[in-house]
Amino acid sequence: MEENPFWGSGNLENLADNLRDMLHCPVTIEDVNHRLLSYSSHDSHTDPARINTIIQRRVPEKVINRLWQEGIILKLMQGEEPVRIDGIEDIGLGNRVAVSIRKNNEVIGYIWVVDEEARLSDEQLKLLKMAADSARSELLQIHARKKKKQEGYQDFLWQLLSGRFTTREAVEEKFRQLNLEIPASYAAVVFKFKEDISNKIEQRIGYILKTNQHVSVSFFVVVQREIILIVSPYMNKQTLAEKEVSRFIHFFTEEMEEKFNAQNILGASGSVYEELNKAVKSYQEAQEVIRLIERFPSELKGVSSYPELGILRYLDVIFEKKSKEGYEHPAIEKLVKYDKQNKTNLLETLEVYINNDSNVNDAAKVLHVHMNTLNYRIKRIAAITDINLKNTNEKMSLYLDLKLKRLEESTRL
């Protein structure tokens, strides 16, 4: 068996330097989530992708996405042999050779070599494989340390979400004990899958979370079909904007579908807070968004945050009052009776019309009818119910009562 010249390198920094000396090419070593672990020196002619990776301590998102699109990451994940990569000029990537670092069939990291002249020989590719074999033990130690730390983080997350901390000072003390940076602002985020999350899916989730460059993920935990996260501002940003959280939610669901074919994931966030002891409130708000999206998918299409719920945030309170009073909107009762007797769907027409802010064109598209047909139905509804659909208060009352009716029907199921 050929002796591995990289045994005894000591650490990943020495390994990267030793490999560079043997291959005469710049080297970087990354974990499975494309975070930079070590890198060798390079001359002044290296490409922008390498420079940005070293500065950011991770591979830029646009580079990761392009490598996925080109099938390069998938090829590295599926095989043990080094992969030659032609330069991709528009993302600043020169010629590369890469190899995965593996433990059995699991990829735990990568070694990337800048091969400017595409000249690495078969013997040099063997050296690259040996370097990957040597790097395995060091990466496994790093992984074990991270896993132990992550377990402590998850305990802390559950303490936050259960409301164990009542003061900001108590939370800050725990942050200091765990050597964590205290975020200036944060939000709880929940992703709900259609099925229980397997270990394989959890690994893919971790990959997407750690390669995202929209928010910093302070903590995350998997519970059956849900992922619960605390997110904070990305890198050096001081405050977390709700639009950034929404972009992250969209990014996550899109990446999971495109890269791993995980479909129909619901994502939601609570409000952004500065007070750390309000994590439980943000988490409860995110859960409320998920619950309402499941009950009102058309009305809340595109909604992902608690503030975006609008008046539907108060639906449960209004529902409770309605249940105590036994009130039924007379216009809705008349339309239910009329539809039943005449086999029409005027109540549905009314709800779609109000949902679309009385826009005849938009409502007609949803109902798949001509605008003239819809205008006739609206006049018929007004005649049957004696309501004024130009009156904001009447429309708002009808909107709420229609939602309450659907909420009541769903609770009977």
CA-based torsion, 248, 251, 256, 262: positive or negative: positive
Tokens representing 335? 């339309």
**pLDDT (0 to 100) of residue 389:** 85
Q: Any idea what DSSP says for residue 98?
A: E
**pLDDT (0 to 100) of residue 2:** 64
**pLDDT (0 to 100) of residue 44:** 66
C-alpha 384/C-alpha 347 separation (Å) is 11
Summarize pLDDT for 374-393 with one digit per residue, the tens.
999 999 999 999 888 888 88
C-alpha 182/C-alpha 144 separation (Å) is 24
Q: Are 32 and 76 in contact (CB under 8 A)?
A: no
Select from 9, 69, 4, 5 the least CA-distant residue to 38.
Answer: 9
CA-based torsion, 206, 211, 214, 219: positive or negative: positive
**pLDDT (0 to 100) of residue 215:** 92
Which residues are paired to 39 by β-bridges? 28
Most confident of 33-42, 54-63, 144-153, 266-275: 266-275
Which residues are paired to 114 by β-bridges? 96
C-alpha 32/C-alpha 58 separation (Å) is 11
Select from 176, 207, 230 the least CA-distant residue to 110.
Answer: 207
Burial of 411 (0-12, 13-18, 19+ CB in 10 A): exposed
- The predicted model gives 247-266 an average pLDDT of 92
Tokens representing 297? 């998918």
Q: Are 270 and 230 in contact (CB under 8 A)?
A: no
- The predicted model gives 272-296 an average pLDDT of 91
Tally Cβ neighbours within 10 Å of residue 117: 8
**pLDDT (0 to 100) of residue 81:** 93
Summarize pLDDT for 160-189 with one digit per residue, the tens.
887 877 788 888 888 888 888 888 899 999
Tokens representing 167? 């003061």
Average pLDDT, rounded, for the chain: 88
pLDDT band of residue 246 (cuts 50, 70, 90) is: very high
Select from 57, 23, 21, 62 the least CA-distant residue to 38.
Answer: 57
**pLDDT (0 to 100) of residue 149:** 62
**pLDDT (0 to 100) of residue 287:** 95
- The predicted model gives 274-294 an average pLDDT of 91
CA 384 to chain CA mean position, Å: 47
Q: What percent of the chain has pLDDT over 70?
A: 96
- The predicted model gives 116-143 an average pLDDT of 87
Tokens representing 95? 């010629």
Cα separations (Å) of 191 from 30, 87, 221?
Answer: 27, 36, 11
Q: What percent of the chain has pLDDT over 90?
A: 43
Q: Any idea what DSSP says for residue 112?
A: E
Structure pTM? 0.67
Domains of the chain listed by start with CATH number: 12-139 (3.30.450.40), 162-314 (3.30.70.260), 328-412 (1.10.10.2840)
